[in-house]
Structure 1
Amino acid sequence: MKTFTLDEAQSLLPLLESLLKRAIESKKAAEAIEGQLQQLRHRIFLSGGLMVDILSVTRQRAEAETLVRRAKDAVAEIQAIGVQVKDLETGLLDFPCILNDEVVLLCWKMGEPRIDFWHTVDAGFRGRRPVDERFGRSKKPN
Protein backbone atom coordinates (compact mmCIF):
# COMPACT_ATOMS: atom_id res chain seq x y z
CA MET A 1 0.00 0.00 0.00
CA LYS A 2 1.31 3.41 -0.95
CA THR A 3 1.48 5.95 1.85
CA PHE A 4 1.67 9.72 1.66
CA THR A 5 3.04 12.50 3.79
CA LEU A 6 0.70 15.43 4.36
CA ASP A 7 2.70 17.53 1.89
CA GLU A 8 2.57 14.82 -0.78
CA ALA A 9 -1.17 14.43 -0.36
CA GLN A 10 -1.72 18.20 -0.47
CA SER A 11 0.27 18.49 -3.69
CA LEU A 12 -2.02 15.97 -5.39
CA LEU A 13 -5.26 17.85 -4.65
CA PRO A 14 -5.48 19.84 -7.92
CA LEU A 15 -5.08 16.68 -10.01
CA LEU A 16 -7.42 14.65 -7.81
CA GLU A 17 -10.08 17.36 -7.82
CA SER A 18 -9.97 17.43 -11.63
CA LEU A 19 -10.33 13.64 -11.80
CA LEU A 20 -13.15 13.68 -9.25
CA LYS A 21 -15.04 16.35 -11.18
CA ARG A 22 -14.69 14.33 -14.37
CA ALA A 23 -15.97 11.20 -12.62
CA ILE A 24 -18.88 12.96 -10.91
CA GLU A 25 -19.99 14.90 -13.99
CA SER A 26 -19.76 11.81 -16.20
CA LYS A 27 -21.72 9.73 -13.70
CA LYS A 28 -24.46 12.35 -13.42
CA ALA A 29 -24.72 12.70 -17.21
CA ALA A 30 -24.94 8.91 -17.60
CA GLU A 31 -27.64 8.78 -14.93
CA ALA A 32 -29.62 11.48 -16.74
CA ILE A 33 -29.52 9.50 -19.98
CA GLU A 34 -30.49 6.33 -18.13
CA GLY A 35 -33.43 8.24 -16.63
CA GLN A 36 -34.59 9.27 -20.10
CA LEU A 37 -34.31 5.71 -21.37
CA GLN A 38 -36.19 4.41 -18.31
CA GLN A 39 -39.00 6.91 -18.98
CA LEU A 40 -39.17 5.72 -22.59
CA ARG A 41 -39.38 2.07 -21.44
CA HIS A 42 -42.15 3.05 -19.03
CA ARG A 43 -44.13 4.85 -21.76
CA ILE A 44 -43.73 1.84 -24.05
CA PHE A 45 -44.95 -0.47 -21.29
CA LEU A 46 -47.95 1.70 -20.42
CA SER A 47 -49.06 2.15 -24.01
CA GLY A 48 -48.45 -1.43 -25.06
CA GLY A 49 -45.85 -0.33 -27.58
CA LEU A 50 -44.65 2.79 -29.38
CA MET A 51 -42.80 3.71 -32.52
CA VAL A 52 -39.25 4.31 -31.31
CA ASP A 53 -36.34 5.94 -33.10
CA ILE A 54 -33.99 2.99 -32.68
CA LEU A 55 -30.97 4.95 -33.95
CA SER A 56 -31.54 7.68 -31.38
CA VAL A 57 -31.94 5.17 -28.54
CA THR A 58 -28.81 3.34 -29.68
CA ARG A 59 -26.86 6.61 -29.66
CA GLN A 60 -28.12 7.45 -26.17
CA ARG A 61 -27.17 3.99 -24.88
CA ALA A 62 -23.67 4.33 -26.41
CA GLU A 63 -23.26 7.81 -24.93
CA ALA A 64 -24.29 6.55 -21.49
CA GLU A 65 -21.80 3.68 -21.74
CA THR A 66 -19.04 6.11 -22.76
CA LEU A 67 -19.84 8.35 -19.79
CA VAL A 68 -19.84 5.42 -17.37
CA ARG A 69 -16.46 4.30 -18.74
CA ARG A 70 -15.10 7.85 -18.36
CA ALA A 71 -16.24 7.94 -14.72
CA LYS A 72 -14.74 4.51 -13.99
CA ASP A 73 -11.48 5.48 -15.69
CA ALA A 74 -11.18 8.64 -13.58
CA VAL A 75 -11.79 6.66 -10.38
CA ALA A 76 -9.24 4.05 -11.50
CA GLU A 77 -6.67 6.82 -12.07
CA ILE A 78 -7.22 8.09 -8.53
CA GLN A 79 -6.87 4.60 -7.11
CA ALA A 80 -3.74 3.94 -9.21
CA ILE A 81 -2.12 6.94 -7.50
CA GLY A 82 -2.76 5.14 -4.19
CA VAL A 83 -5.65 7.31 -3.01
CA GLN A 84 -8.87 5.69 -1.78
CA VAL A 85 -12.20 6.92 -3.15
CA LYS A 86 -14.60 6.62 -0.22
CA ASP A 87 -17.66 8.41 -1.63
CA LEU A 88 -17.84 9.54 -5.22
CA GLU A 89 -21.07 11.51 -4.69
CA THR A 90 -19.45 13.85 -2.16
CA GLY A 91 -15.90 13.59 -3.49
CA LEU A 92 -14.52 12.00 -0.32
CA LEU A 93 -10.94 10.72 -0.54
CA ASP A 94 -8.57 9.07 1.94
CA PHE A 95 -4.77 9.05 1.74
CA PRO A 96 -2.97 6.32 3.69
CA CYS A 97 -0.34 7.88 5.93
CA ILE A 98 2.04 6.58 8.59
CA LEU A 99 1.67 8.23 11.98
CA ASN A 100 3.59 6.82 14.95
CA ASP A 101 4.21 3.57 13.06
CA GLU A 102 0.48 3.13 12.42
CA VAL A 103 -1.42 3.53 9.17
CA VAL A 104 -4.01 6.29 9.43
CA LEU A 105 -5.96 8.06 6.72
CA LEU A 106 -5.65 11.70 5.78
CA CYS A 107 -9.18 12.69 4.83
CA TRP A 108 -10.25 15.25 2.22
CA LYS A 109 -13.64 16.13 0.81
CA MET A 110 -14.06 18.00 -2.47
CA GLY A 111 -14.62 21.67 -1.74
CA GLU A 112 -12.29 21.76 1.23
CA PRO A 113 -9.32 24.06 0.49
CA ARG A 114 -6.74 21.62 1.90
CA ILE A 115 -6.39 18.44 3.91
CA ASP A 116 -7.26 19.41 7.47
CA PHE A 117 -8.50 16.09 8.88
CA TRP A 118 -7.45 12.51 9.49
CA HIS A 119 -8.94 9.42 11.05
CA THR A 120 -7.95 5.89 11.96
CA VAL A 121 -8.66 3.12 9.51
CA ASP A 122 -11.53 1.87 11.69
CA ALA A 123 -13.06 5.23 12.65
CA GLY A 124 -14.09 6.43 9.20
CA PHE A 125 -15.42 9.87 8.32
CA ARG A 126 -17.31 10.26 11.60
CA GLY A 127 -14.04 9.86 13.49
CA ARG A 128 -12.28 12.72 11.68
CA ARG A 129 -9.89 14.73 13.81
CA PRO A 130 -7.98 17.89 12.92
CA VAL A 131 -4.50 17.42 11.47
CA ASP A 132 -1.92 18.48 14.05
CA GLU A 133 1.81 19.16 14.16
CA ARG A 134 2.64 15.42 14.13
CA PHE A 135 1.78 15.31 10.43
CA GLY A 136 4.27 18.02 9.56
CA ARG A 137 7.02 15.74 10.82
CA SER A 138 5.69 12.52 9.34
CA LYS A 139 8.29 10.73 7.30
CA LYS A 140 7.77 8.09 4.68
CA PRO A 141 9.04 4.65 5.68
CA ASN A 142 12.14 3.49 3.83
Structure 2
Amino acid sequence: MDRIFTVEEARSLMPQVCGLVAELVAIRADLAELGHDLREGVRSPLGGLPEAKAMEARIGEILGWFDERQIEIKGIAPVLVDFPAVLDGVSVRLCWIEGEAELGWYHRSELGFPGRRRLP
Protein backbone atom coordinates (compact mmCIF):
# COMPACT_ATOMS: atom_id res chain seq x y z
CA MET A 1 0.00 0.00 0.00
CA ASP A 2 1.31 3.43 -0.92
CA ARG A 3 1.65 5.79 1.99
CA ILE A 4 -0.23 9.07 1.95
CA PHE A 5 1.05 11.81 4.26
CA THR A 6 -0.87 14.63 5.83
CA VAL A 7 0.86 18.00 5.89
CA GLU A 8 1.28 17.61 9.65
CA GLU A 9 2.85 14.13 9.33
CA ALA A 10 5.28 15.32 6.68
CA ARG A 11 6.24 18.40 8.68
CA SER A 12 6.80 16.27 11.79
CA LEU A 13 9.44 14.30 9.87
CA MET A 14 11.29 17.40 8.66
CA PRO A 15 13.82 17.55 11.53
CA GLN A 16 14.96 14.02 10.64
CA VAL A 17 14.81 14.79 6.92
CA CYS A 18 16.92 17.93 7.35
CA GLY A 19 19.48 16.13 9.48
CA LEU A 20 19.88 13.32 6.98
CA VAL A 21 19.96 15.73 4.05
CA ALA A 22 22.71 17.77 5.75
CA GLU A 23 24.74 14.58 6.13
CA LEU A 24 24.00 13.59 2.53
CA VAL A 25 25.12 17.00 1.23
CA ALA A 26 28.42 16.75 3.13
CA ILE A 27 29.06 13.22 1.88
CA ARG A 28 28.07 14.23 -1.66
CA ALA A 29 30.73 16.97 -1.63
CA ASP A 30 33.39 14.73 -0.09
CA LEU A 31 32.66 11.95 -2.57
CA ALA A 32 32.84 14.34 -5.53
CA GLU A 33 36.22 15.60 -4.34
CA LEU A 34 37.57 12.16 -3.50
CA GLY A 35 36.31 10.73 -6.79
CA HIS A 36 38.06 13.49 -8.71
CA ASP A 37 41.31 12.90 -6.84
CA LEU A 38 41.11 9.15 -7.43
CA ARG A 39 40.52 9.64 -11.17
CA GLU A 40 43.45 12.07 -11.35
CA GLY A 41 45.71 9.75 -9.36
CA VAL A 42 46.24 12.45 -6.74
CA ARG A 43 46.59 11.73 -3.05
CA SER A 44 43.47 12.92 -1.23
CA PRO A 45 43.18 13.97 2.41
CA LEU A 46 39.77 12.26 2.28
CA GLY A 47 41.31 8.82 1.77
CA GLY A 48 41.19 6.35 -1.06
CA LEU A 49 38.95 3.74 -2.61
CA PRO A 50 37.88 2.18 0.73
CA GLU A 51 36.71 5.58 1.99
CA ALA A 52 34.87 6.23 -1.27
CA LYS A 53 33.09 2.90 -0.95
CA ALA A 54 32.16 3.71 2.67
CA MET A 55 30.73 7.06 1.56
CA GLU A 56 28.70 5.35 -1.17
CA ALA A 57 27.41 2.83 1.38
CA ARG A 58 26.35 5.62 3.76
CA ILE A 59 24.51 7.39 0.94
CA GLY A 60 22.70 4.11 0.29
CA GLU A 61 21.73 3.87 3.97
CA ILE A 62 20.41 7.43 3.98
CA LEU A 63 18.39 6.85 0.81
CA GLY A 64 17.10 3.61 2.35
CA TRP A 65 15.72 5.57 5.33
CA PHE A 66 13.57 7.60 2.92
CA ASP A 67 12.51 4.53 0.96
CA GLU A 68 11.45 2.67 4.12
CA ARG A 69 9.10 5.55 4.94
CA GLN A 70 7.84 5.87 1.35
CA ILE A 71 9.25 9.39 1.11
CA GLU A 72 10.34 10.03 -2.46
CA ILE A 73 13.81 11.35 -3.30
CA LYS A 74 13.62 12.97 -6.74
CA GLY A 75 17.23 14.14 -6.87
CA ILE A 76 20.37 14.38 -4.79
CA ALA A 77 22.09 17.41 -6.35
CA PRO A 78 20.17 19.33 -5.17
CA VAL A 79 18.26 17.06 -2.81
CA LEU A 80 14.58 17.13 -3.70
CA VAL A 81 12.10 15.36 -1.42
CA ASP A 82 8.43 14.59 -2.11
CA PHE A 83 5.82 13.30 0.32
CA PRO A 84 2.79 11.70 -1.42
CA ALA A 85 -0.36 13.43 -0.18
CA VAL A 86 -3.91 14.36 -1.08
CA LEU A 87 -5.15 17.96 -0.95
CA ASP A 88 -8.79 18.73 -1.68
CA GLY A 89 -9.20 15.27 -3.21
CA VAL A 90 -6.27 15.73 -5.60
CA SER A 91 -3.11 13.59 -5.59
CA VAL A 92 -0.17 15.85 -4.82
CA ARG A 93 3.40 15.76 -3.62
CA LEU A 94 4.40 17.90 -0.65
CA CYS A 95 7.67 19.20 -1.99
CA TRP A 96 10.89 20.28 -0.25
CA ILE A 97 14.22 21.15 -1.82
CA GLU A 98 17.61 21.41 -0.16
CA GLY A 99 18.09 24.84 1.36
CA GLU A 100 14.45 25.62 2.12
CA ALA A 101 13.70 26.49 5.73
CA GLU A 102 10.47 24.49 5.92
CA LEU A 103 8.06 22.26 4.05
CA GLY A 104 5.91 24.89 2.40
CA TRP A 105 5.26 23.76 -1.17
CA TYR A 106 3.28 21.15 -3.13
CA HIS A 107 2.60 20.21 -6.70
CA ARG A 108 0.06 17.97 -8.41
CA SER A 109 1.54 14.51 -8.75
CA GLU A 110 1.44 14.52 -12.53
CA LEU A 111 3.02 17.99 -12.90
CA GLY A 112 6.23 17.66 -10.96
CA PHE A 113 8.49 20.50 -9.86
CA PRO A 114 7.38 23.06 -12.49
CA GLY A 115 3.87 22.94 -10.98
CA ARG A 116 4.99 23.92 -7.45
CA ARG A 117 2.65 26.10 -5.42
CA ARG A 118 2.76 27.37 -1.85
CA LEU A 119 0.80 25.25 0.63
CA PRO A 120 -2.45 26.95 1.66
TM-score range, shorter chain: 0.7 to 0.9
TM (normalized to structure 2)?
0.87
1-side partners of 2:86 and 2:21: how far apart?
A: 24
1:115 is aligned to 103
Counterpart in the other structure of 1:24: 25
In structure 1, give the amino acid aligned to 2:58.
R
The residue number in structure 1 matching 2:15 is 14
Query: If each structure's helix is expressed as a fraction of its own residues, which one has the higher value?
Result: 1
**Matches of 2:3 and 2:89, distance apart in 1:** 14
Alignment check: 8 A CA contact 1:2 1:82 kept: yes
Match of 2:61 among 57, 73, 92: 73
Please give the alpha-carbon distance, in whole angstroms, between the structure 1 residues aligned to 2:40 and 2:20: 30
RMSD: 1.9
Structure 1 runs (4+) greater than 6 angstroms displaced:
none
Gaps of 5+ in 1: 42-52, 133-142
Alignment of 1:42-81 (within 5 A): 60-81=48-69
The number of aligned residues is 117
Which residue of 101, 104, 123 corresponds with 2:89? 101
Structure 1 contact 19–75 (Cα < 8 Å) conserved: no
CA–CA distance in 2 between the matches of 1:5 and 1:19? 21
Cα deviation, 1:89-134, whole Å, max 9, x if unaligned, reads 12211000022333210111122222211111111111101111xx
Q: Which residue of 1 aligns with 2:79?
A: 91
Aligned partners of 1:92 and 1:108 also within 8 Å: yes
Contiguous gaps of at least 5 residues in structure 2: none
Q: Which moved more, 1:4-13 or 1:92-101?
A: 92-101
| Cα distance in 1 between the residues matched to 2:52 and 2:37 | 11
Larger RCO, structure (CA 8 Å, separation 6 or more)? 1
